[in-house]
Structure 1
Amino acid sequence: MIPRVAAFCLGLVLLAGCQRNDLKEPPAELGDFALGLNIVVADNMQKVPISRGATVEEWEAAVSRAIDARFGRYQGARLYNIGISVDGYALAPPGIPVLAAPKSVVAITANIWDDAAQKKLNPEGEKMTVFESLSGASIVGTGFTSSREEQMEALAYNVAKRVETWLLDNPEWFGLPPKPKVVPETESK
């Protein structure tokens, strides 16, 4: 039994180590996208009471770095500006390992603008709730295994990845054909 648990934990740790390797791969297809302005604000964010503390400046810097790392890889012919508001967060404090291992989370609102057209592409801000990734550390509780800076860096990475997924779901914004609509199959009677 113990060797199986050890192998499972080792697998989770290796999985966590692979988390950021996707930035070394070529970026997904986003048509004519190139990152223009990267604006991150956190001056109105709320902290969940049980959370570790973090400053506005720390959140703005962490998310801005993650957006630059992910979207700076795109070399399209047209500039697009990304705006993100950090609305709230919880950085997991130490808890009871495994039984009550709190998870870190951040809530954001994202917007995208076509720089040349000086036009916002999404009619309303896209609200997203982003959790820490599953890993051996998150099962025990990142409050025990990670500093608050490491938690913020991991959440910021997940924010940038989630924003990229949102943009990929809207290819028409970047000169690509729209994604086909998925029509649910109906059962024959």
Structure 2
Amino acid sequence: MEEDYYSINSIIADTHKLTCTFNLDVKGLGFLEGGSEPDIKQHAKAELPFWLAHTLSANEFTSFPIPPPYSHRVRSALNASAHSVRLSSLVGTNGWWYAWGRRIAHILDDAQRKELLGTLLKAFSQRLPLLQDLAAHYGSSSASNINSGDMGSGGVTIAGEAFKEGMDAEERELFALGQGAGRKLKTWYDTPRR
């Protein structure tokens, strides 16, 4: 995902909500909590869009825990079997799990940033080989040859199909590129030579 002012994907990522805790009293912003109080009291919690949470956290008005899509539970699942985690369902619309994680990492302290970025890199590097294999398979196979049962002659495993459905948006972009490259390679290979 681009981190560009005019990027629709960037705008969508900035609307994800974070549960923030206010570090001090804030006058006149009680409506952010959804209550009838005119002010926000210290230690009050509110769900804020990322763009606002980022600004308030950078100025130390708020703090927030690591969001659930990057929690210890998700990291444990990724360590156990990175291919089986459905990244597309962890962050909502379009599943920009890697991109949102990078955005969050920029406002964390050094230790948390290092841990989160390490998790993103490890997950990507463990998932990439299967992504490449599936993209090459789909790119070089015709739709009629694809079998969603056990691996057979030119087929895809059920686990491969589940992985494909659970891909993050960036993984889907790479999959499409790999699939296109696989088609071009098949066309080149099938073209008679003189």
- State TM-score, norm by structure 2: 0.25
Structure showing the higher strand proportion among its residues: 1
Higher RCO, 1 vs 2 (CA within 8 Å, ≥6 residues apart): 1
Q: Which is greater in Rg?
A: 2
Structure showing the higher helix proportion among its residues: 2
